[in-house]
């Protein structure tokens, strides 16, 4: 896949994840600083953990400050526009989130493979890239992280990472492998949204 297109998609995912942080901050009635913090950790938290774990220096958003500006602009626009009475269809944000998630996982897997050879570690780094920011966001908001509940979210990331690394092991081109991982993550996540799929829960009975 063309690197410039991948970069644009990465920025799109950053903006979408930032919006989810802004909306949660709005429900919690945070001030503008709190909104920006929650949006930032949601958008770049997973990638930051990944880069620190891999020893990738400097961390991606320090090397390229465009990520920070995208988050700041997204926060300002969202805080201004979300007050308007126009109703956005319920599925718009989850679907955009699914697209951003799928590509974040693929980017995480690709970057992990640049620093080491283990497919397992690459899959883990892909999941962290996709889900890490949301976990930090939910912890700061005193909520149980979505990936730890029954919703099919992290599972989709794992499957996408498996498809990605398996395709590479079978000798497919990097672009083909990336697209196979992205597509599998996206299909599973969109299916979960469309049909309200969830994993069985573990509950102790009294």
List average pLDDT for each run of 10 residues in the chain, which is 206 residues long: 83 92 90 95 97 96 96 95 70 86 95 96 97 94 84 94 97 94 96 91 76
The verdict on residue 85 lying in a domain is: yes
The verdict on residue 201 lying in a domain is: no
**What are residue 198's DSSP bridge partners?**
151
Sign of CA dihedral 173, 174, 179, 180: positive
The verdict on residue 16 lying in a domain is: yes
Total-model pTM: 0.93
- The whole-number pLDDT of residue 5 equals 82
- The whole-number pLDDT of residue 149 equals 79
- The whole-number pLDDT of residue 60 equals 96
- The whole-number pLDDT of residue 136 equals 95
The verdict on residue 128 lying in a domain is: yes
The verdict on residue 39 lying in a domain is: yes
The verdict on residue 90 lying in a domain is: yes
Q: Which two tokens stand for residue 22?
A: 């802004």
Residue 81 to residue 23: CA distance in whole angstroms: 11
- The whole-number pLDDT of residue 84 equals 60
The verdict on residue 172 lying in a domain is: yes
Q: Which domain holds residue 105?
A: 3-195
- Give the distance, in angstroms, between the CA of residue 102 and the centroid of all CA atoms in the same chain: 7
Report the number of distinct structural domains present in the chain: 1
The verdict on residue 205 lying in a domain is: no
């Amino acid at each position: 896949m063309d690197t410039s297109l991948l970069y644009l998609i990465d920025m799109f995912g950053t903006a979408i994840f930032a919006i989810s942080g802004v909306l949660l901050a709005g429900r919690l009635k945070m001030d503008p600083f709190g909104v920006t913090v929650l949006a930032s950790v949601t958008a770049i938290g997973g990638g930051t953990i990944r880069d620190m774990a891999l020893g990738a220096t400097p961390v991606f958003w320090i090397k390229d400050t465009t990520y920070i500006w995208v988050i700041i602009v997204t926060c300002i626009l969202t805080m201004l526009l979300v007050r308007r009475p126009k109703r956005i269809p319920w599925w718009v944000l989850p679907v955009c989130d699914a697209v951003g998630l799928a590509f974040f996982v693929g980017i995480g897997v690709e970057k992990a493979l640049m620093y080491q050879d283990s497919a397992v570690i690459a899959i883990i780094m892909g999941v962290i890239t996709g889900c890490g920011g949301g976990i930090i966001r939910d912890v700061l908001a005193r909520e149980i992280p979505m990936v730890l509940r029954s919703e099919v979210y992290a599972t989709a990331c794992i499957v996408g990472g498996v498809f990605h690394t398996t395709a590479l092991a079978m000798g497919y081109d990097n672009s083909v492998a990336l697209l196979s991982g992205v597509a599998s993550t996206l299909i599973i996540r969109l299916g979960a949204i469309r049909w309200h799929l969830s994993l069985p829960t573990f509950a102790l009975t009294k």
